[in-house]
Amino acid sequence: MSTASVNDSSLPPVTKPASHWLWVAVSTPAHSSVSEPLSYLSDAPIAPGTLVRVPLGRREVLGVVWDAPPDGAVPDLPEGVTPRSIAGVLQGVAPLDASWRRLTAFTARYYQRALGEVALAALPPQLRDLTPEQMARRIQRKTRKKKDMAGVASAAIHPTPAPVALSDEQRRATLQIEAEDGPFLLFGATGSGKTEVYLHSVQRALEADPRAQVLVMVPEINLTPQLEARFLERFAPVYGDEAVVSMHSGMTSAQRLKSWLAAHTGEARIVLGTRMAVFASMPQLALIVVDEEHDASYKQQEGARYSARDLAVWRGREQQAKVILGSATPSLESWHASRSPSTDDPHGGRYLRLHMPSRIGAAELPRVRLVDMGQQPRGAVFSPPLLQAITERVERGEQCLVLLNRRGFAPVLHCKDCGWKSDCPHCSAHQVFHKIDRTLRCHHCGFTQRVPHACPSCGNVDISPLGRGTEQLEEQLAELLRNVITPQRRAARVARIDADTTKAKGALEEQLAAVHSGEIDVLVGTQMVAKGHDFRRITLVAAVQPDGALFSSDFRAPERLFALLMQAAGRAGRDADYIAEQGGNPPEMWIQTWHPEHSLYTSLRRHDYPRFAAEQLQERADAGMPPFAYQALVRADARTQEAAQAFLTAVSERAREAQLPGLDHVFLFPPVPMAVQRVANVERAQMLIESAHRGALQHFLAAWQSVLHAERANHKAVIRWLVDVDPQAI
């Protein structure tokens, strides 16, 4: 334990008698090598989990009182060091319970981050800035508001919502969830009614315990509004509007604090949120639902690089809460963890797999059609068969979705005379051409400039775009469909939804509402519209350029591609009644590819995820990759690539010299540049660490921290380093 202390005479000394030692988790600077928690004095004992304001250097910061060390020893102060006292307690906020503290401590330990960094990042930003006096005033206002609302509240007793008729598959799944402990992997086809299983399980949990709380997580912010609407419709009549709250980074600081306090006090019975919600303080947690559990968005990519899905499973076990992981395309880790017992593997996996292969009602899965682009006209963006299929759908009043996971008009501008390309001056990447505002933008560092009138290298005025983005698809489809007339006797309308068109507040909701109302005939979008959305009128989905991931250096790329395409296909034909009204033409998924015989597409045509997963798992087992091995990445950012790699080489050599614990079971690969090795004029290198034993890897990483801190002092050109445990991209 370290002691927060001063030996600077300019700082005020301790003036009040204080005899109680406290250990407080605070957010210390990254790589400060200060062990945590820090020690402070208090004139009265304070319970662990209490939020306090404490001095740190010349600042006053928020801290969380932590559990005292097992031996209860008084800190041994170095000579000349004066202990400091806490500045105040945030009254009105109940202490964070032991289960929350264990969750944050485990996260910090497993993902190799400082305890205070994780604990304070898990709290709403506004809470970190409030003084005890400001917090007291806020609590008083909230209490008065509750009393006023109670005085005018209706005394009517709300009935339990009428039960929704479940399909046989849904009923079997819900009965197993009620009867077993889990964790559960709900493997359900797109449109099979997984959300209704979630709602039913939530209802059962809340009915079983009048104080029970439920956490429901989705991978992206844009999926929360429609989910919140369904939960409010189901549960607000019984528990009130205040019982359902959301938590995600798109909310204002005041909104996030309000939701956090509602969950912390138990007022919120249901919390909906993105990955950050896994740290919500929910003392009566009874059920956790992780929807689209395969999604890479559950992995944090800054600071503490935690996996919210994995932490949800850990938290469920620790708080004895049931956990449901749901997906039509589960992650291979979850699929492997839910394997059935066999003669070779008598114990099987630790998850219970629940299978729902059929769509609700008479809806059928879309037929997958592969278009061999080698047999199509040269340079065609849309093959004639696909264009004809889109035209026929639009003329019948149906909607189509065109998927291209690349925004902008073109990935790069190019001069044919001298070979110049629109490279970013600050990154080892191209600037993307955005035609709509005539700019070149780097999607890595954000650098933006106007499109040059001529080639900056040779002066040639004939510079042209290479490749395609969603802007270009939108423009070309609008031109190709300009003479297509819908049953409403109007021209076909094409719209685009991607990160560029949804920047403004409320823009995404407005565009999705236009799709749902039928104002849009063809929707062009990136992966943000390919998953989770319940489009009732879309009957055709087309993937234009999916082949890039087939031959990626990242071993997870095929898994991500299969999930994206299968999830996109699931947007088509979700409403059997609508399909029947339109004449019964089956929904379709079109894929334009140069490799139609690839095994990934063979499995996709059959909607056969188990076959795809079996092939991928066999490849990974043969290569010794996750989930059959455990990995961590150490990344170094420096002023030069040589300095970054030199640092990684040095810490690797120091680890071998010191014979760190676990080293015999760990393999350290040589450092290499990252795929995009320079971002914002910072060079980046990485080194992979791999082990067949999770425990050995963790022991090694924990012992290696001191080496990393010490070696940093010998490499002045290194700006920062970080450890990424269980990386999702290599």
Annotated binding site: 415, 418, 424, 427, 442, 445, 455, 458
- Return the SS3 of 146: helix
> At residue 353, what are phi and psi to the nearest 5 degrees?
-85, 130
Q: Specify the 3-state DSSP secondary structure of 413.
A: strand
Farthest CA pair distance, the chain? 87
Q: In what order do the strands lie in the sheet with 88-89?
A: 2-3, 38-42, 20-25, 59-66, 51-56, 88-89
Asked if 289 and 298 touch (Cβ cutoff 8 Å), the reply is no
Q: Are 84 and 55 in contact (CB under 8 A)?
A: yes
Task: Give every CB contact of residue 568 below 8 A, 6+ residues apart in sequence.
Answer: 401, 403, 527, 530, 531, 541, 543, 589
The dihedral sign for the CA sequence 8, 13, 18, 24: negative
- The single residue listed with the structure tokens 């400039």 is 449
Could you say which DSSP state residue 301 is in?
-
Q: How far is the C-alpha of 236 from the C-alpha of 243, rounded, in Å?
A: 7
Residue 312 · residue 217 · CB < 8 Å: yes
Helix (H) or strand (E) holding 524: strand 522-525
- The sign of the CA dihedral 471, 473, 479, 483 is negative
Closest by Cα among 606, 507, 602, 525 to 571:
525
> Which residue is associated with the tokens 């489009």?
535
Cα gap 120→64, rounded to integer Å: 8
Question: Among 447, 495, 488, 489, which residue's Cα sits nearest to residue 470?
Answer: 495
Annotated binding site for Zn(2+): 415, 418, 424, 427, 442, 445, 455, 458
State the CB neighbour count (10 A cutoff) for residue 534.
Answer: 14
Instruction: State the DSSP code for 305.
Output: -
List Cβ<8 Å contacts ≥24 apart for 431-434. Answer: 432/407, 432/408, 432/469, 433/408, 433/409, 433/465, 433/469, 434/408, 434/409, 434/471, 434/500
